[in-house]
Amino acid sequence: MLRRPFFWIIALVIAAFVVLPSIGNNVELRESLVLACVYITLASNLNLMLGYAGYINFGSIVFFGLGGYICVWLVYAHDWPLAWSLLVAGAGVSALALIFGLGILRLRGAFFALSTIGIVEGVQAFAENFTPWGGSSGIYISPQVFQPLGGPGRALWVIYFALVATMGASLYLSYAIKTSKFGLGLLAIGQNEDAAAILGVPTPRYKALAYSASAFLPAIAGGLYFFKGAFIQPSDAFDLTLSTEAIVICMLGGQGTVTGVALGAYLYEELRGYLLTSSTFANFQLTIAGVLLLVIVLFFPSGLMGFIYSRFPAAKRVLE
Amino acid sequence: MTTDGTAILELDRVSKRFGGLQAVNNLSFTMKPGEILGLIGPNGAGKSTLFNLINGVFAPNTGKIVFNGIDITGERPFVVARHGLARTHQIVQPLTNMTVLENCTVGACFGRENLPLYRARDIAREAVQLTGLDDRSDTLALHLTIAGKKRLELARSLAAQPKLLLLDEVLAGLNPTEVEHMIGVIRKIRDSGVTILIIEHLMQAIMSLSDRIVVLNYGQKLAEGLPAEVARDAAVIEAYLGDPKLAAELEGQA
């Protein structure tokens, strides 16, 4: 893997995320890159299901929100250190996904997609009614929790670097799976599940593993994101919009590709930032995302990477 | 029927019903290692259903299927594949957005040997070569012609290095040159030690390829025997061959 150029391309991206905002303590750039990290993490992990195994998961936000809740709650109610809270959030959500996955992955197509929306609604209802998690008003944590990380100012940098690491891990995970036997099995499932099973791919186990793997890093990103905000409530944690945006990103970049999805996430985040701050478009951000999705599906079904590959076929040998 | 230990495939009173349709009815037969057994019968006789029962797409309602000494009745397709049983489809099922080589690598990776990726590629290349697809190994499966897709079905199942290969109409839709090539490939596969169960409508081809023939009609076994015996069988002529002249011609050939 170390001899492949793509490994170093990912390393270069991570380095850029670390170095660029550090120059001159550029907090504004850092905050914009926080969101880029979150989008890249969510979209890359969604891509394992959507792009590789061909299953549309509308509920990827559940991993993010639930990870956030578990982490914030462990810090708030049990005084756990952040690192342990994050690991437990990741492992817990991943284990839950495995159990749910073995059940709902018996469904296919639209039925699976619907069941993932059901999971979002169900988990949100649970959070709204679970008293230890503060019900619908959520959990506030005092800024005191930033003390172990060296006070609020330094803590924000620590959290940012942790998010960059999560994003980097997401990219390497996508890459490692894509070039593995497991990934080949998932891609076969995505192309034709019945044929894959007949060729010997253990489809139920592979799908459940992919679903579970796609939960781990988003849960950690959720933990970091909501810890950073020192506040979590159900309507933010389980916002279906973010799930939908992750799907748009995968389609925009080119589902099934590592580069395309990361690039799509970054561009989408930039566009979103521009629309939200522009006086003309501020209220139309989602409308534009919707139109974008329509245009992509109709005219560029293989996304950004499809376009790049058709223009520069040599790129196929370097990029994944 | 008793297990004598030498059979590679044994079907014991296997039945499958879809609603009111008895697709396969109380069917028994055995296959010896290394033979080519031809399965013929009119459309709707239950041939493809039988394949689906053997490789686990459907579970039989009653009866037992033993492969290489292992009871595989009602096992899932990927379990059956792992035991060393591969098949092709009458209606081709390529992994469309993957190359020919990648399709075959899936077969090699998840087939009988459960190979790691780097070794699977070598096996896949051999299968691609044997089926004459080497000049198209980097072509996406969706860009292949129908003959190419048929060959891919065969290449992919071969890459799994099976002990038993089920071939479902691999000759249908091919032109005479392609048929001839394919028959050569099938013979080569058998010579490499693979047992073959083949469904085919091209009478001349199946009569000359098969060591034995089983004739199905309405899900039941109508006849079983050497190709020449089957071609002579009055019930088979009436149900299937239809034409005594064709039967005589086939008998002469076999």
Q: Determine the residue of chain B that is closest to A205 in CA distance.
A: B78
CB A110 within 8 A of CB A40: no
Task: Return residues 63-122 of B near A (CB < 8 Å).
Answer: 76-78, 81-82, 86-87, 89, 93-98, 102, 105-107, 109-111, 114, 116-117, 120
SS3 of B150, please? helix
Q: What is the per-residue pLDDT for B241?
A: 64
The predicted-structure confidence for A124-165, as pLDDT tens digits, reads as follows: 999 999 999 999 999 998 888 888 888 888 999 999 999 999
In chain B, positions 15-74, which contact chain A (CB-CB < 8 Å)?
A: 55, 57
Beta bridge partners of B195: B164
Query: Which residue out of B57, B106, B113, B154 would a mutagenesis test of the A interface target, given it has the greatest number of A Cβ atoms within 10 Å?
Result: B106
Give the chain A residue nearest B158 (alpha carbons): A199
When pLDDT is averaged across residues A28-38 and rounded to a whole number, the result is 93
Do the chains contact at A198 and B78, CB–CB below 8 Å? yes
Nearest CA distance, A67 vs chain B (angstrom)? 34
Break chain B into its structural domains and give their ranges: 1-84+163-254, 93-161
pLDDT score, position B43 = 84
- Is the pLDDT assigned to residue A72 strictly greater than 70? yes
The verdict on B253 touching A (C-beta cutoff 8 Å) is: no
Task: Please tell me if residue A188 touches chain B, with a CB cutoff of 8 Å.
Answer: yes
pTM equals: 0.90
Tell the CATH superfamily of the B1-84+163-254 domain. Answer: P-loop containing nucleotide triphosphate hydrolases (3.40.50.300)
pLDDT at B2: 45
**CB nearest to B77's CB, from A180, A188, A198:** A198
Q: Do A197 and B76 touch (CB under 8 A)?
A: yes
pLDDT at A223 over 90: yes
In this predicted structure, what is the pLDDT of residue B69?
92
Q: Please give, rounded to a whole number of angstroms, the shortest distance from the CA of B207 to a CA of chain A.
A: 28
- DSSP notation for chain A: -TTSHHHHHHHHHHHHHHHHHHGGG-HHHHHHHHHHHHHHHHHHHHHIIIIII----TTHHHHHHHHHHHHHHHHHHH---HHHHHHHHHHHHHHHHHHHHHHHTTS-HHHHHHHHHHHHHHHHHHHHH-GGGTGGG-EE--GGGGGGGTHHHHHHHHHHHHHHHHHHHHHHHHHHHHTSHHHHHHHHHHH-HHHHHHTT--HHHHHHHHHHHHHHHHHHHHHHHHHHHTEE-HHHHT-HHHHHHHHHHHHHH-TT-HHHHHHHHHHHHHHHHHHHHSTTTGGGHHHHHHHHHHHHHHH-TTHHHHHHHHH-TTHHHH--
**Per-residue confidence in pLDDT tens, chain B, 254 aa:** 444 558 999 999 999 999 989 999 999 999 999 999 999 988 888 999 999 999 999 999 999 999 999 999 999 999 999 999 999 998 899 999 999 999 999 999 999 988 999 999 999 999 999 998 999 999 999 999 988 999 999 999 999 999 999 999 999 888 888 899 889 999 999 999 999 999 998 888 899 899 999 999 999 999 999 998 988 887 787 777 666 676 677 766 65
Q: Give the residue-averaged pLDDT of A222-235.
A: 94
Inform me whether the C-beta atom of residue A77 falls under 8 Å from chain B C-beta atoms: no
- The answer to whether B82 contacts A191, with C-beta atoms less than 8 Å apart, is no
- Within 8 A of B105 by CB-CB distance, chain A residues are 184
Residue A310 clears pLDDT 90, i.e. is over it: no
Q: Is B149 on the interface with A (CB under 8 A)?
A: no
Nearest residue of chain A to residue B109 (CA atoms)? A181
Looking at chain A from residue 147 to 166, which residues have their Cβ under 8 Å from any Cβ of chain B? none
Q: Give the mean model confidence (pLDDT) for residues A66-91.
A: 95
For residue A200, give the nearest of B81, B97, B98 by CB distance. B81
pLDDT at position A283 over 80: no
Q: Predicted confidence band at A175 (pLDDT cuts at 50, 70, 90)?
A: very high
* Residue of B113, B6, B12 lying closest to B71 (CA atoms): B12
Interface of A with B in 164-183 (CB under 8 A): 180-181
C-beta atoms of B110 and A201 within 8 A:
yes
**What pLDDT sits at residue A284?**
77
